């Protein structure tokens, strides 16, 4: 385990991030986030082309997600130590290379391996973006920059579903599903080149080595959760999927005690307890966990409901979520002025708006299936997108605003790990509920997912009414 002694924390002396530079790092953010979802609409096509079985298709999705989530905090630490621009460029170029390997896959095994490698490189990108915003954006501009980040990261999931359907429908040069990966090449290369010219280098004022023991323990804890929740529902929850979930809290306790012991010796751990015990950080992460788990389940069930319940094509299903995308974008841009005026009430207010949207869908669900009227869902989807943007955007600003600049990369890694891990758990849990309830029809199955999301919105709105996310 390699550490260096800590020193008082301060702000690094480096140029500030320009508006153009912010646009570049937001483009970099879009790529790995979007690739978590864009492949989902192409799974049937991939199965037919490569002869992939269900297990292979599951690994195409889960392999990327697990590798991505597993290494985010380490990616943040690497940026703090070696320079965030440098690590960001390395991640982007690696993402381009692994995307090309995915597009060239001649077999399912090749594609699975390439997707895992793609997830590894993807994990280097978001922490550097968040770290750069925290360290190289003036405090008076930071809330607005974070709202832009929240807009892009939230839109990535919805845009992935839409763009995936469009690219499959267009089928340029007969490339079919391979085009979903090839699109990353020009975008990734452009982002890497622009990063070099427009993004200032920044790092921790007191960079430290990699906490190997903390990294191993965090990796074990993440794997003990994500592998079972990804594989367990598909295999009927065998004992070997249940036992790791029971061991995960033990690993979390061991990790916490180890990191506190490291911090007590004057070294810097992978997860500094001083950061995680800060009330705004702790409260924000605890709120985002269940809230985004319900969101992950919703995003999993929505395209299946639109395609199999309403009988829409992948392209039409993608177009149906456009109102939600636009509302999310508008909501993200309104977070800074709303926070300035209403303060802590933005989070419970956003949860209330999203809850109203979910209630609309629940009311319109029978009408939509009986009359085939997809339009009945659109106002509800718009309310859901707007409310989601308010909650996540305000929470992101609150959490990262409480992280010292010296730990900006690690703070970003912890935040994105919480977001991605929570959504993965939500997909597994609510995906299982959805699949089991399908025997009663798509309306009933989707209704269960909506009720879970409605309860989560109600809980957030009640618990955080008039309070800061702390």
pLDDT digits (tens, 9 = 90+) for 235-253: 778 888 889 989 989 988 9
pLDDT above 70 covers a percentage of the chain that reads: 91
Give the pLDDT score at 157: 74
- pLDDT reading at 12 higher than 60: no
449 and 434 Cβ atoms separated by less than 8 Å: yes
For 383-416, write each residue's pLDDT tens digit: 999 999 999 989 988 887 887 776 777 777 788 8
Q: Fill in the DSSP letter of residue 306.
A: I
Distances (CA, A) of 269 to 214, 261, 345, 363: 7, 9, 34, 50
Give the pLDDT score at 11: 44
For 169-224, write each residue's pLDDT tens digit: 887 787 888 999 999 999 999 999 999 999 999 887 765 666 778 878 888 888 88
DSSP characters for 137-166?
A: S-HHHHHHHHHHHHHHHHHHHHHHHHHHHH
Burial of residue 138 (number of CB atoms within 10 Å: 0-12, 13-18, 19+): exposed
Of 20 and 36, the structure prediction assigns the larger pLDDT to 20
- pLDDT reading at 79 higher than 60: yes
Q: Do you know the residue count of the chain?
A: 470
Helices and strands in the chain, H and E counts: 20, 0
Nearest to 212 by CA among 24, 38, 74, 347: 74
Q: Fill in the DSSP letter of residue 267.
A: B
Q: Considering the chain, what is the average pLDDT of its residues?
A: 84
For 120-147, write each residue's pLDDT tens digit: 999 999 999 988 988 888 888 888 888 8
Of 222 and 30, the structure prediction assigns the larger pLDDT to 30
Distances (CA, A) of 413 to 152, 186, 224: 17, 26, 19
Angle, CA of 89, 17 and 79, to the nearest 5°:
40
Give the pLDDT score at 347: 92
- pLDDT reading at 10 higher than 60: no
The token pair that represents 236 in the structure block: 């009927």
CA 444 to chain centre: 27
Nearest to 450 by CA among 360, 368, 317: 360
Distances (CA, A) of 396 to 70, 148, 278, 285, 443: 20, 11, 14, 9, 33
Give the pLDDT score at 8: 39
For 141-171, write each residue's pLDDT tens digit: 888 888 888 888 877 877 887 788 788 888 7
- pLDDT reading at 43 higher than 50: yes
Range 377-383 contact pairs with CB under 8 angstroms and sequence separation of 24 or more: 377/320, 378/320, 378/323, 379/323, 381/320, 381/321, 381/323, 381/324, 381/327, 381/357, 382/323, 382/324, 382/326, 382/327, 382/357, 383/327, 383/353, 383/354, 383/356, 383/357
0.85 exceeded by pTM? no
- Confidence category of residue 371, pLDDT binned at 50, 70, 90: very low
- Confidence category of residue 370, pLDDT binned at 50, 70, 90: very low
Give the pLDDT score at 467: 61
- pLDDT reading at 338 higher than 80: yes
Compute, in degrees rounded to 10, the torsion defined by CA atoms 383, 385, 386, 389: 150
- Confidence category of residue 458, pLDDT binned at 50, 70, 90: very high
- Confidence category of residue 55, pLDDT binned at 50, 70, 90: low
The CB density around residue 351, as the number of other CB atoms within 10 Å, is 26
- pLDDT reading at 267 higher than 80: no
- Confidence category of residue 382, pLDDT binned at 50, 70, 90: very high
- pLDDT reading at 5 higher than 50: no
For 88-118, write each residue's pLDDT tens digit: 999 999 999 999 999 999 998 899 999 999 9
Distances (CA, A) of 324 to 151, 154, 321, 426: 12, 11, 5, 20
Give the pLDDT score at 351: 95
- pLDDT reading at 357 higher than 60: yes
Distances (CA, A) of 215 to 121, 244, 256, 268: 17, 18, 12, 12
- What residues form DSSP beta bridges with 267? 5
Instruction: Calculate mean pLDDT across residues 296-309.
Output: 81
CATH fold group of domain 19-463: Growth Hormone; Chain: A; (1.20.1250)
Q: How far apart are CA 2 and CA 212, in angstroms?
A: 7
Instruction: Calculate mean pLDDT across residues 50-65.
Output: 78
Q: Show the DSSP H helices in 35-125 as ranges.
A: 43-50, 54-70, 72-82, 84-103, 108-122
Instruction: Calculate mean pLDDT across residues 280-288.
Output: 88
Query: 405-444: buried (b, 16+ CB within 10 Å) or exposed (e) per residue?
Result: bbbbbbbbbbbbbbbbbbbbbbbbbbbbbbeebeeeebee
């Amino acid at each position: 385990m390699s550490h260096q002694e800590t020193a008082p924390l301060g702000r690094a002396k480096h140029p500030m991030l320009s508006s153009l530079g912010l646009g570049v790092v937001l483009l970099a953010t879009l790529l790995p986030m979007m690739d978590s979802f864009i492949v989902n609409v192409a799974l049937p096509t991939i199965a037919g082309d490569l002869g992939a079985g269900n297990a292979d298709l599951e690994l195409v999705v889960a392999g990327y997600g697990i590798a991505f989530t597993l290494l985010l905090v380490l990616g943040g630490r690497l940026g703090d130590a070696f320079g965030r621009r440098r690590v960001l460029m390395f991640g982007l170029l690696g993402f381009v290379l692994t995307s090309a390997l995915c597009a060239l896959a001649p077999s399912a095994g090749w594609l699975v391996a390439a997707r895992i490698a793609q997830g590894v490189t993807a994990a280097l990108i978001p922490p550097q973006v968040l770290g750069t915003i925290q360290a190289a954006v003036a405090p008076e501009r930071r809330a607005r920059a974070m709202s832009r980040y929240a807009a892009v990261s939230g839109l990535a999931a919805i845009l992935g579903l839409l763009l995936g359907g469009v690219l499959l429908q267009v089928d340029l040069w007969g490339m079919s599903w391979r085009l979903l990966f090839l699109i990353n090449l020009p975008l990734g290369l452009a982002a890497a080149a622009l990063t070099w010219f427009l993004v200032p280098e920044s790092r921790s004022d007191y960079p430290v080595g990699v906490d190997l023991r903390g990294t191993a323990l965090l990796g074990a804890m993440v794997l003990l959760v994500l592998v079972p929740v990804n594989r367990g529902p598909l295999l009927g929850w065998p004992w070997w999927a249940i036992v790791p979930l029971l061991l995960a809290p033990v690993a979390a306790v061991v990790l916490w005690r180890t990191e506190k012991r490291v911090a007590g010796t004057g070294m810097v751990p992978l997860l500094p307890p001083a950061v995680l015990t800060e009330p705004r950080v702790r409260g924000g992460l605890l709120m985002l966990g269940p809230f985004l788990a319900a969101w992950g389940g919703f995003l999993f069930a929505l395209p299946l409901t639109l395609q199999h319940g309403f009988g829409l094509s992948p392209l039409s299903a993608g177009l149906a979520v456009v109102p939600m995308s636009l509302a999310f974008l508008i909501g993200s841009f309104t977070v800074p002025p709303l926070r300035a005026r209403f303060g802590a009430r933005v989070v419970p207010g956003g949860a209330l708006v999203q809850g109203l949207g979910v209630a609309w869908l629940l009311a319109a669900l029978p009408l939509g299936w009986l009359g085939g009227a997809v339009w009945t869902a659109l106002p509800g989807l718009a309310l859901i997108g707007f409310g989601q943007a308010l909650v996540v955007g305000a929470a992101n600003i609150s959490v990262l605003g409480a992280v010292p600049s010296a730990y900006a990369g690690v703070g970003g890694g912890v935040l994105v790990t919480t977001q991605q891990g929570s959504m993965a758990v939500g997909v597994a849990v609510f995906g299982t509920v959805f699949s089991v309830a399908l025997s009663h029809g798509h309306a009933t199955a989707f209704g269960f997912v909506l009720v879970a999301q409605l309860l989560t919105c109600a809980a957030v709105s009640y618990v955080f009414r008039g309070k800061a996310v702390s």
